[in-house]
Amino acid sequence: MTELVYQGDPYLKEYMATIKAIKGSRVFLDKTIFHPRSGGVENDTGYMVFNEGMVRVVNVYYDKESGDVAHEVDNASLLPQPGSSVKLVLDWERRYRLMRLHTAAHILSAIMYTNYNALITGGNITPEYGYDDYSLTEFSREIFEEAVKKANEVVARNIEVKIYWLPREEALRIPGVVKLASKMPPEVEKLRIVEIPGVDIQADGGPHVKSTGEIGVIKLLRVENKGKNKKRLYFSVEP
């Protein structure tokens, strides 16, 4: 399986990797700094650079056949043979927006969980904005306005975001470590933990910023009532 290097350092913009296999437009590597679409966070994009040129990485996802990370490129015929090295280059501005929005989403979900006992029932994060659905019975814009206000107070404190691994059983004993209403973490021996001390702790595999101050300002875009236990908050980050 591909080593997810970004889980240890999400600030790596370039990295050398070895091609394991090429299947059509899908490229499989020994290591990657590209985040595949997962956990409601959209995938990274960028380039693979080699002596003869480069190809564009247009999509990254978990391949249904192998379960490994597939890097979909725009012209696989240009790639060197498996066993060759390529330099991975991220679209950094896109990644950094996703990181800021992702950490903002964790803060918001922690506030909704603590103050309203609300779990996430759906969501998605794009580079432009994010949204989450919450298991609230009452639809109230004021609830979300208050949550965003409290979240921005957390952001302003510039708290360090800590990332570490814990044995699965130990991690799952932590209250609130899973804030998704219908999904448990994968069956692995150790879980990656993202902690904002005093605010939130969650099992999570995606990229995040190093401190809450990097988020900027969380902005409420709009709210929608999508039905029972599905009250949706759209948000973005500025500047």
Euclidean distance between CA atoms 82 and 28, whole angstroms? 9
48 and 144 together in one domain: no
- Cβ neighbors of 48 (< 8 A, separation 6 or more) are 27, 54, 55, 57, 71, 73, 79, 86, 87, 88, 89
Calculate mean pLDDT across residues 74-102: 98
**Which pLDDT does position 186 carry in this prediction?**
73
35 and 78 together in one domain: yes
70 and 174 together in one domain: no
Confidence of residue 63 (pLDDT cuts 50, 70, 90): very high
pLDDT at 22 over 90: yes
**Which pLDDT does position 113 carry in this prediction?**
95
Q: Bigger pLDDT: 146 or 186?
A: 146
79 and 100 together in one domain: no
What percentage of the chain reaches a pLDDT higher than 70?
Answer: 98
Q: Which of 56, 90, 124 is the last residue of a domain?
A: 90
| Closest to 154 in 3D by CA, of 211, 234, 223 | 211
19 and 136 together in one domain: no
**Which pLDDT does position 203 carry in this prediction?**
93
Q: For residue 118, give the CATH number of its domain.
A: 3.30.980.10
What is the domain range of residue 201?
95-238
- Convert the pLDDT of each residue in 161-183 to its tens digit: 999 999 999 999 999 898 877 66
- Convert the pLDDT of each residue in 134-163 to its tens digit: 999 999 999 999 999 999 999 999 999 999
- Cβ neighbors of 211 (< 8 A, separation 6 or more) are 158, 159, 160, 161
- Sequential DSSP letters for 10-49: TT--EEEEEEEEEETTEEEESEE-PPPSBTTBPPP-EEEE
CA 26 from chain centre, in angstroms, equals: 21
Calculate mean pLDDT across residues 105-119: 96
136 and 32 together in one domain: no
173 and 100 together in one domain: yes
Residue written as tokens 């470590």? 177
**Which pLDDT does position 56 carry in this prediction?**
98
Mean pLDDT, the chain, integer: 96
Calculate mean pLDDT across residues 51-77: 97
**Which pLDDT does position 217 carry in this prediction?**
98
CB-based contact 62:38 (threshold 8 Å): yes
**Which pLDDT does position 211 carry in this prediction?**
98
**Which pLDDT does position 182 carry in this prediction?**
62
CB-based contact 188:205 (threshold 8 Å): no
pTM of the model: 0.95
pLDDT at 122 over 90: yes
Q: For residue 57, give the CATH number of its domain.
A: 2.40.30.130
56 and 129 together in one domain: no
